[in-house]
Amino acid sequence: MTPVVLGIETSCDETSAAVLRGETGLLGHRILSQDVHELYGGVVPELASRAHLRVIDEVVDAALAEAGIALADVDVVAATAGPGLIGALLVGLTWAKCVAYALGKPLIAVHHMEGHLFAPSIEDPEAQPPFVALLVSGGHTLLLWVPEWGRYELLGETRDDAAGEAFDKVAKILGLGYPGGPVIQRVAAEGDPRAYRFPRAMLAANQRPGDADYYDFSFSGLKTAVLTRVRELEAAGRLPSEVPNLAASFQAAVVDVLVAKTMRAVEEKGCRRVLIGGGVAASRALRRGLAEALGEGGRLFHPTPRLATDNGAMIARAALFHYEAGHLAPLDVTARADLPFPGLAR
Ligand code: KG4
Ligand code: ZN
């Protein structure tokens, strides 16, 4: 019998629940984005926890109602156990633990980034390993080699800011609001990506596989370079009209680095299959850049925007894999802000 998984995600500022039958049967799905954080230009952890607590019952009920399934008919209960904001994580995981205990259902504790890895396979059954994976979110930038589900080789990661974090910080510098990615994409469409030559960090032609920085990323210098330009333009009274050019040039710098490092992995692994996940995978410029670099013989797997940013469906999908592999969580499992990626080798 195909299991029905209830997936809960509350690691940051989205409260989400999904009912997934098998790998691709997304029967019900609700994502509630918290807007209180807009006032502060970033996520306020305590406000996030309280908001999750307020709405979690309604969000799960709505997903179940859409699926036409009673809670008692769910086979597996899953929630994100980390990484993320600890208070926010505890709301979803504790909710799942209580339901699993009360109904006597198996519980699966999911790593948030592994959820992002599984997201494209909900909509595209061919989005299966082997592939090179680029996971780019507000908190993480990971380049992985994935020979099979559950076995992950870490090729590179960011040394400072995550890719999404760079979008969020630069949007704040440009006065565009939060979250940064979508609004930078919108404003960049009116600008020239070649207007400013921003740095492409850790991208030198003489780097070789095995060099420490061959696959790693760094985005904090780029953010500072944008800030310096913004101050100069402000002093000259030219900032407002240059915002589209700055946004487009910044976006191009991030995309160039992400594409170049991903293509290094493609070459080294001899595998022209790439999967992108995480909020920044919603970027049209990134998808276009990777598709062009991969060319005719390559395959690019990416989630639709709704499954790119945080959602319960990807948690349910990753949970299904672990359920079938027998990786059940004990009822005393706890959330961890720094949960290690399961199956990850360096
Ligand atoms: O995966 P996600 O929803 O949450 C985390 O796990 O962090 O990713 C959110 C991040 C934010 O930093 C947001 O600015 C970025 O994804 N993002 C984008 C786009 N849409 C969202 N970045 C670039 N281009 C986009 N279109
Ligand atoms: Zn995420």
Render pLDDT for 3-15 as a digit per residue (tens, 0 to 9): 999 999 999 999 9
Q: Does the predicted TM-score (pTM) go above 0.95?
A: yes
Please work out whether the CB of residue 114 comes within 6 Å of at least one atom of ligand 1: no
Please report which helix (H) or strand (E) contains residue 226, including its range.
helix 220-235
Structure tokens at 97: 């633990």
Query: So what's the pLDDT on residue 221?
Result: 97
Q: Which of 279, 292, 9 is nearest to 163 (CA)?
A: 279
What is the whole-number distance in angstroms between the Cα of residue 309 and the centre of ligand 2? Answer: 6
Cα–Cα distance, 185 to 290 (Å, whole number): 16
For 62-65, the CB contacts below 8 A with 24+ separation are 62/17, 62/28, 62/30, 63/6, 63/17, 63/18, 63/19, 63/28, 63/29, 63/30, 63/312, 64/6, 64/17, 64/19, 64/28, 65/28
Q: By the 8 A CB rule, do 117 and 344 touch? A: no
Ligand nearest to the CA of 114: 2
Please work out whether the CB of residue 244 comes within 6 Å of at least one atom of ligand 1: no
Percentage helix, strand, coil for the chain under 3-state DSSP, each rounded to 5: 45, 20, 35
Q: By the 8 A CB rule, do 256 and 163 touch? A: no
What phi, psi does 258 have (nearest 5°)? -60, -45
CATH class of the 129-303 domain in this structure: alpha beta
**Residue 281: is its pLDDT beyond 90?**
yes
Structure tokens at 51: 């908001």
pLDDT in tens, 40-68: 878 999 999 999 999 999 999 999 999 99
By most ligand atoms within 8 Å of CB, the mutation choice from 309, 311, 315 for ligand 1 is 309
Query: So what's the pLDDT on residue 254?
Result: 98
Domain range annotation of the chain: 4-117+308-345, 129-303
Please work out whether the CB of residue 289 comes within 6 Å of at least one atom of ligand 1: no
Please work out whether the CB of residue 48 comes within 6 Å of at least one atom of ligand 1: no
Query: So what's the pLDDT on residue 238?
Result: 97
User: At 306, which amino acid appears?
Assistant: R
Fold match, 4-117+308-345 / 129-303: yes
Tell me how far apart the terminal alpha carbons of the chain are, to the nearest angstrom: 37
Query: So what's the pLDDT on residue 1?
Result: 86
Cα–Cα distance, 294 to 136 (Å, whole number): 18
What is the whole-number distance in angstroms between the Cα of residue 303 and the centre of ligand 2? Answer: 12
How far out from the chain centre does Cα 56 lie?
Answer: 21
Do you find a cis peptide bond into 244, omega within 30 degrees of 0? Answer: no
Using DSSP's 3-state secondary structure scheme, residue 143 falls into strand
Query: So what's the pLDDT on residue 30?
Result: 98
- In which band, very low, low, confident or very high, does the pLDDT at 36 lie, cut at 50, 70 and 90? confident
Query: So what's the pLDDT on residue 129?
Result: 98
* 243, 245, 251, 255 alpha-carbon torsion, rounded to 10°: 180
The CATH architecture one would assign to domain 4-117+308-345 is 2-Layer Sandwich (3.30)
Query: So what's the pLDDT on residue 75?
Result: 98
Residue with tokens 């396979």: 121
Ligand nearest to the CA of 307: 1
Q: By the 8 A CB rule, do 130 and 146 touch? A: yes
Pairing of strands 344-345, 151-157: parallel
**Residue 205: is its pLDDT beyond 90?**
no
42's CB contacts (< 8 A; 6+ apart) are: 168, 172, 178
